[in-house]
A and B are shown apart, each in its own frame.
Chain A
Amino acid sequence: MEKVKPEHLQELITSFANKDVYIHLETTNGSYAAHFNEGFFNAGAFIRNIVIKYELGKVAGESPHRIGLKLPSGWIYAQGITHYKVDEHGRLLMAGLDPEGKLAVALEISETPFTY
């Protein structure tokens, strides 16, 4: 993955619009957050291989970027995206990595299912 080039990422996100696509969306502080920092309120969410179709997708803000997908009757968004890549399967992988290289958020879009 490399650092987000917003214009290029915008083109990629637009290329998946109006198609059935598989989504991976994840936010995390890691399972050890409240162990190393007692009292830390650990929250996160994870969905994988959910099929959606979005009509409009946008890259917003300076790095770290926000990505929003407008669905016919709903929304998906992720904030904190720093890196991206189109992998060898044509999947758009986006991630928010903190300065230590730990993943905090991931949003991935694919025309084929992700593994389990």
Chain B
Amino acid sequence: MIKKERHVLVIFPHPDDEAFGVSGTISLYREMGVPVTYACLTLGEMGRNLGNPPFANRETLPQIRKSELKKACEAMGLDDLRMMGLRDKTIEFEDDEKMVQLVTDLMEETNPSLVISFYPGLSVHPDHDASARAVVRAVRRISETERPTLYTIAFANNTIEVLGEPDITHDITTVSKKKFAALQSHASQTVWMMKDMEKKLEAQDPDAMKWFQNERFYTYRWDRDFE
């Protein structure tokens, strides 16, 4: 069972980050009636999958990904999507204080009891790490007694070495279809992967199945702060 929250604020830089990492969790919270706000910082403008023959080009991709993102939110039952208007692959070059303020503003407005984002330095893509730094810094500024819990996702190859195993596991089997639909919504990014995934799920491949069984998080530890 997952704990009921007052409000959950999810912050990721790319349409589809939420589908891979937290679409089961978001779906569960929505079924419990917990309000969830998803702030998606970019539209994944620099995505590389255009197809050959191409289905999109550099200039049309953002609009395609925007409609995919909206579809994914529908699949999860999420009705508060914020598209923050930054450009893919540029987050780390934005002013650091501006980024902290962006997160602070979102938290002041939504008053979350739980924030979900990436873990700084262990999230592979520079946008993931930059978003994570901004989120951690903004949450850190809130007094300890008022601070929301912060769940983080880390998937760098050395994650287990640095952080050990995640301390939070959400059983998402009851909403596995919603997660599958959220992943499928991001077709420009996932269509090849999902075809392969379907075959593996039919064959009951354990690595494929675990995507739809559990979502795991590291509660951010302020006694082991990244900076």
Which residues of chain A are within 8 angstroms of B58 by Cβ–Cβ distance?
24, 26, 93, 95, 103, 106, 108
Nearest-neighbor residue (CB-CB) of B54 within chain A: A1
Which residues of chain A are within 8 angstroms of B54 by Cβ–Cβ distance?
1, 83, 95, 97, 101
CA distance A83 to B55 in the complex (A): 12
CA distance A98 to B89 in the complex (A): 21
With known contacts A97-B54, A116-B85, A28–B59 Cβ distance under 8 A: no
Tell yes or no: A7 within 8 A of B by CB. Answer: no
Find out whether the CB atom of B59 lies under 8 angstroms from the CB atom of A93: yes
Tell yes or no: B35 within 8 A of A by CB. Answer: no
Q: Which single member of A100, A101, A115 contacts B59 (CB below 8 Å)?
A: A115
Find out whether the CB atom of B48 lies under 8 angstroms from the CB atom of A108: no
Which residues of chain A are within 8 angstroms of B121 by Cβ–Cβ distance?
none
Interface string of A1-41 (1 = CB under 8 A from B): 11000000000000000000000101010111001001000
Tell me which residues from 57 to 104 in chain B have a Cβ below 8 Å from any Cβ of chain A.
57-60, 62, 85, 87, 89
Give the segment of B1-9, B18-26, B123-131, B206-214 that binds chain A.
B123-131
Nearest-neighbor residue (CB-CB) of B58 within chain A: A106
Chief secondary structure at chain B's binding surface: loop
Q: How large is the interface on A (under 10, 10 to 19, 20 to 34, 35 or more residues)?
A: 20 to 34
Nearest-neighbor residue (CB-CB) of B127 within chain A: A31
CB distance from A67 to the nearest CB of B (A): 15
Nearest-neighbor residue (CB-CB) of A87 within chain B: B59
Find out whether the CB atom of A31 lies under 8 angstroms from the CB atom of B50: no
Tell me which residues from 20 to 68 in chain A have a Cβ below 8 Å from any Cβ of chain B.
24, 26, 28, 30-32, 35, 38, 46
Name A residues whose Cβ lies closer than 8 Å to a Cβ of B. 1-2, 24, 26, 28, 30-32, 35, 38, 46, 82-83, 85, 87, 91, 93, 95, 97-104, 106, 108, 114-116
A-B contact pairs, 30 of them (CB 8 A): A1-B54, A1-B57, A26-B46, A28-B48, A31-B125, A31-B126, A31-B127, A35-B156, A35-B157, A38-B157, A46-B46, A82-B52, A83-B54, A87-B57, A87-B59, A87-B60, A93-B57, A95-B54, A101-B51, A101-B53, A101-B54, A102-B49, A102-B50, A103-B49, A103-B50, A108-B58, A108-B59, A115-B59, A115-B62, A116-B85
